[in-house]
Amino acid sequence: MSGDDDQQDHTIADDLVVTKYKMGADIANQALKVVIEAAKPGVSVLSLCEKGDAFITAETGKVFKKEKEIKKGIAFPTCVSVNNCVCHFSPLKSDPDYTLKDGDLVKIDLGVHVDGFISNTAHSFVVGATKDAPVTGRKADVIKAAHLCAEAALRLVKPGNQNTQVTEAWNKIAQSFKCMAIEGMLSHQLKQHVIDGEKTIIQNPSDQQRKDHEKAEFEVHEVYAVDVLISTGEGKARDSGQRTTVYKRDPSKQYGLKMKTSRVFFSEVERRFDTMPFTLRAFEDESKARLGVVECAKHELLQPFSVLHEKEGEYVAQFKFTVLLMANGPLRITSGSFDPELYKSEHEVQDPEVILKLTSWAG
């Protein structure tokens, strides 16, 4: 992996870099559509995760075929988190699965990269919602709130603005719908091969997080994955004790692994995924992967993406998009198709300043 100094050249100031981002984004948007269309009552979450990952792998295999040295593929494995599950649910074949039913609030999260340039996206919807039978109540509140937070961010994440402006707008919008942003969740700047860049936007920080979080100004030619997670509950995401299946390599950590299974597993991680998040499902022998990951995670060679939950009975909605801060204005390259007619909330945004932002042109 190249160091930061090498990466300075590989920004969206270069047309080829923009092309690679857009190629990845097109595949991410198509993958999202494929998974959403397949998410019907009676369908298993595992099958949806497999479908999303297979689509991304197949489609990225068709671009830059002659340039063998260019890596491309999954930048974030397909996760399907339902109702009060906040994020990162992507079960293995050996894990308990979940079968979708009418009325489930579903969040689909995935990412694609072409030559290390990452396009992430996430979308929320309710299974079985139609214009004739729109979603009402708390599910509608939380989906509307999260969608409007994403729309506000598109207008606020632009050169010259501060990350704190986004955090404040999100809190106001969530409160208008009697909801809470999930505490401490981060949206990251993206760089080549780096899904968790140093500049971040924090959601609903605790007092300590507010003190510790670095204020930052958005600059031209930066790229961000803007990730909104809103809850009908207290906004506290807890590790539910479910098996973690998504990990990524931490390139800053080194350790001499003792177990042969761990060493074989880790060398495959480095060869196939480099620093991109991956799922244990991607390994031919799932049981060996489950064994090999333990020592790697214990010594922090791999960072876990834990499965998080809100309280039982609450609902969490997520929208995520990737935005390029071009010289002529922000360009959103990933998003799902949102139909406001399907969600009827009795609440609306109250803050005049936020309303002005939401009704202004994004760009």
Residues 259-286 pLDDT 10s: 999 999 999 999 999 999 999 999 999 9
Average pLDDT value for residue range 287-314: 98
Q: Is the pLDDT of residue 167 over 50?
A: yes
Residue with tokens 């402006």: 165
- The dihedrals phi and psi of 295, each to the nearest 5 degrees, come to -65, -35
pLDDT band at 7 (very low <50, low <70, confident <90, very high): very low
Contact between 115 and 23 under an 8 Å Cβ cutoff? The reply is no
How many whole angstroms separate alpha carbon 227 and alpha carbon 186? 7
Q: Is the pLDDT of residue 8 over 60?
A: no
Average pLDDT value for residue range 24-31: 99
Average pLDDT value for residue range 319-331: 98
What's the pLDDT at 52?
A: 99
Contact between 308 and 86 under an 8 Å Cβ cutoff? The reply is yes
Average pLDDT value for residue range 131-139: 98
Reported pTM? 0.96
What's the pLDDT at 76?
A: 99
What's the pLDDT at 186?
A: 98
Q: Name all domains of the chain by residue range, CATH numbers in brackets.
A: 4-243+309-359 (3.90.230.10), 245-305 (1.10.10.10)
pLDDT band at 9 (very low <50, low <70, confident <90, very high): low
Q: Is the pLDDT of residue 357 over 90?
A: no
176 vs 6 pLDDT, higher one = 176
Displacement of CA 71 from its chain's centroid (Å)? 21
3-state helix, strand, coil in the chain (%, to 5): 35, 25, 40
pLDDT band at 240 (very low <50, low <70, confident <90, very high): confident
Q: Is the pLDDT of residue 244 over 90?
A: yes
Q: Is the pLDDT of residue 24 over 90?
A: yes
What's the pLDDT at 363?
A: 61
In 3D space, the residue among 108, 80, 83 whose CA is nearest the CA of residue 233 turns out to be 83
pLDDT band at 4 (very low <50, low <70, confident <90, very high): very low
Query: First vs last Cα of the chain: how many Å apart?
Result: 33
Average pLDDT value for residue range 255-260: 98
SS3 330: strand
DSSP state of 194: B
SS3 175: helix
Contact between 207 and 138 under an 8 Å Cβ cutoff? The reply is no
In 3D space, the residue among 284, 286, 304, 291 whose CA is nearest the CA of residue 261 turns out to be 291
Q: Is the pLDDT of residue 1 over 50?
A: no
In percent, the amount of the chain with pLDDT more than 90 equals 94
What's the pLDDT at 3?
A: 44
